[in-house]
Structure 1
Amino acid sequence: MPLQPVVKRSVSADVFEQIAADVLSGELPPGSTLPSERQLAEALGVSRPAVREALQRLAGAGLVAVRQGDATTVLDYRHGSGLEILPRLLIRDGVLEPAVARSILEVRLHSGPKIAELAAARLGRRRTAVGDDPGAAPRSDADAAVRGREIADGIVAAAEAVAAAADDPIAAQRAALTFWDHVVDAADSIVFRLMFTMLRAAYEPALAALAPVMSAEVGNAEAYRALAAAVTDGDPEEAAALARALLEPATTTLIEILTPEEQP
């Protein structure tokens, strides 16, 4: 097998990962308390500063509540954490969690068309603001138009990259993620940007497992080209419709696979 870079982690990172895994698996349920810093340090064979740093990270991730002079309490991550924990929820001990995967797919299907719609609308607005002569527009508008052209060119190039990788489902999935990365840039929404970043981080470890189902979608070069054209032409309705048509078949199939049949 090809050599892989060795990932160096701090002791506190290892402590964080171990406790986070127990919280997310339910082994440490909400409302339970952790041992003291001293007890954790002794049990884990690490220093108290390492434990303290790990607990601060856990608190920052919304997994525990640390109170000075009081016990550290486990929180319900469903109400206190953000999307950054998705990668840990999606794959546990090397196994895909169906319910989490289904949730990600549902968000993908419903947010993708809206992102495409916003991208088309905002690229179209940039072009309308300066007309055919960016040089005659105010500097800020002209700069926005130049940036808009750069984003549009990136979307078109990314669609061609998906087409070029169509025969390799894993490479094509990566190219498709890059395509959507450019579309999210065009949508100019910080919330969608943060969502996409975390959803991508959760999705990428499962590329090989998803390849058989995703091959039809990422192998549909013409659909990506058509969507790129609608976005860069500034046609929001067409962009949203094409995005849904592109995403829906594989998403529906995967959700059906991941949803257990109801017992009679």
Structure 2
Amino acid sequence: MKPTSSSPPIRPAQRAEHKIVTGILDGTFAPGSVLPSERQLAEILCVARPPLRETLQRLAAQGWLTIAHGKPTVVNDYWEKGGMGLLSTLARYVDTLPHGFVVHLLEVRSRLLPIIAELAVKRAPDAVLAFLDKVESLEDNAPAFAVFDWQLQLFMAGETGNPIYKLMFNDFSVMFATLAAAYFSRFQARAASRSYYRELAAAIPVGGKRVEAVVMAAMEESVTLWKRIGREEG
């Protein structure tokens, strides 16, 4: 009897996407260059043309590529042409992210999450406080912190009353899970986050700008800690 695998087989379209996106990220397919013809690319990637065509159209819609009838497919500068759909694809390629991407992402979060927290506390202070009560039973290990921290962000985004915030954060669930494992493996990061959760809980009765200031300070500290992790691992 053959052993079964718990991992589903990789679909041809997924394989094509992986090879094209990683090729763009590592410079194999540089911005401004043209991809081989569909027939040649199908042979190079070892996929049939229908799933390859599906992949190319999806990547073009996200801004990775420009496809024009009767012309070669051009690789875009994704920083210039990409949109939110591109970010959700990038989230699946943490190991090949462009230099500085994680820091840029955390810097955006450090501006966005304070606003989200303030809105959430304004609309549902008791709910946010009840969520933060879980901190006292939070185990001191990376998986527990990674799950709690992400759930807190999603919870506050959901409590703002603006569903767009939740949609934006949902795109980064895979990326956050990978990055958080490295971040929270450091005792200093876990200690800083536990202090942040407690300070946020203490700020809720005050509300308003106090909540925003606590979250802003914690997010900026996370950027500093991540840069330090990058230097140590570099």
Pair in the same fold by TM > 0.5: yes
Alpha-carbon distance, 1:187 to partner: 1.9
1:246 and 2:218 are equivalent in the alignment: yes
* CA deviation string 1:153-201 (max 9, x = no partner): 3x33431333322422331221011112111112233443333223443
Q: Any conservation in 2 of the 1:119–1:186 contact (CA below 8 Å)?
A: yes
1:216 and 2:217 are equivalent in the alignment: no
127, 131, 137: which one pairs with 1:164? 137
Change in CA separation of 1:181 and 1:256 when aligned onto 2, cut-off 3 Å = same
Q: Which AA in structure 1 matches 2:113?
A: G
Q: Any conservation in 1 of the 2:94–2:178 contact (CA below 8 Å)?
A: no
State, as a whole percentage, how many aligned pairs show the same letter.
Answer: 30
Q: Which AA in structure 2 matches 1:102?
A: V
d(CA) in 1 for partners of 2:134, 2:103: 27
d(CA) in 2 for partners of 1:24, 1:190: 31
TM-score computed with the length of structure 1 as normaliser: 0.73
Change in CA separation of 1:98 and 1:156 when aligned onto 2, cut-off 3 Å = farther
Q: CA RMSD in A?
A: 2.8
Q: 1:176 maps to what in 2?
A: 149
Q: Any conservation in 2 of the 1:173–1:207 contact (CA below 8 Å)?
A: yes
Structure 1 unaligned blocks of 5 or more: 124-147
Q: 1:207 maps to what in 2?
A: 180
Change in CA separation of 1:6 and 1:23 when aligned onto 2, cut-off 3 Å = same
Alpha-carbon distance, 1:225 to partner: 4.4
Q: Which AA in structure 2 matches 1:13?
A: Q
How many residues get paired?
Answer: 224
Change in CA separation of 1:65 and 1:5 when aligned onto 2, cut-off 3 Å = same
Matches within 5 A, 1:1-264: 5-82=6-83, 83-88=87-92, 90-92=94-96, 99-121=100-122, 123=123, 148=124, 152-153=126-127, 155-211=128-184, 212=186, 213-220=188-195, 223-228=196-201, 230-231=203-204, 233=205, 235-258=207-230
Change in CA separation of 1:188 and 1:59 when aligned onto 2, cut-off 3 Å = same
Alpha-carbon distance, 1:49 to partner: 0.9
Question: Which structure would you say has the larger Rg?
Answer: 1
TM-score computed with the length of structure 2 as normaliser: 0.81
Q: Any conservation in 1 of the 2:117–2:212 contact (CA below 8 Å)?
A: yes
SS of 1:181's partner is helix
Alpha-carbon distance, 1:63 to partner: 0.7
SS of 1:91's partner is helix
d(CA) in 1 for partners of 2:142, 2:112: 23
Q: Which AA in structure 1 matches 2:222?
A: A
* CA deviation string 1:190-232 (max 9, x = no partner): 4433332234432211222212042113333xx424524645x
